[in-house]
Chain A
């Protein structure tokens, strides 16, 4: 079974702190994604990566950056956390083009609260 893990289930941070959310997948997937999930808004893509050191902005990248130094690991960074970044963050991964069915496999999520 594909396993996608996220470093924390719950996280509480203060405004202005730098926050790291980590995601690891064990299925040799090329693609990895970070979403935020808010009630009434569904999932919105923040960033995705289709290879090591490669990244593309999603629909709401402002205030976030990402890092992918190894294929299995994709980090989301909040440079200076703000209260409007309080949300559930979901990581996902999938096979790259020509491999697999583009199905995304999700982690359990990190519920981040910024005070």
Chain B
């Protein structure tokens, strides 16, 4: 069975600094997708970044980038130039599609606080 582990329940970072959130997963599959979602306080969860496992190149979205290490089953999120609006709960997620059905596994989340 697939599992997703986020080992840092809480983190804090100074505004304008860089922070890395870790995520490891366990699967025997070779083709899957990985996501980071962000849930700001009292607001809707939104996608931050997405990575296809068959792509070696790390995904990047503006200040957000990932370090995808397929062999190590690691998928960390780096936030550069942290902003107060980055304060949120961040969830790592694994998705596998197979014969029309889906397996979506979320980690337990990392609460990130950006300090002024």
Interface residues of A (CB under 8 A from B): 4, 31, 33, 35, 40-45, 48, 50, 56, 90, 92, 97, 101-109
Q: Are A42 and B108 in contact (CB under 8 A)?
A: yes
Nearest-CB residue, chain A, relative to B52: A101
Instruction: Kindly state the interface size class of chain B when it binds its partner.
Output: 20 to 34
- How close is B58's CB to chain A, nearest CB, in angstroms? 17
Residues of B15-73 whose CB lies within 8 A of A: 33, 35, 37, 43-47, 50
- How close is B20's CB to chain A, nearest CB, in angstroms? 19
Interface residues of B (CB under 8 A from A): 4, 6, 9, 33, 35, 37, 43-47, 50, 91, 95, 97, 100-102, 104, 106-109
Q: Are A45 and B107 in contact (CB under 8 A)?
A: no
Q: Are A97 and B97 in contact (CB under 8 A)?
A: yes
- How close is B95's CB to chain A, nearest CB, in angstroms? 6
B residues near A31, Cβ cutoff 8 Å: 102
| A42–B106 alpha-carbon span in the complex (Å) | 6
A residues near B6, Cβ cutoff 8 Å: 42
Contacting residue for A104 out of B4, B47, B101, B109, CB 8 A:
B47
Q: Are B44 and A107 in contact (CB under 8 A)?
A: yes
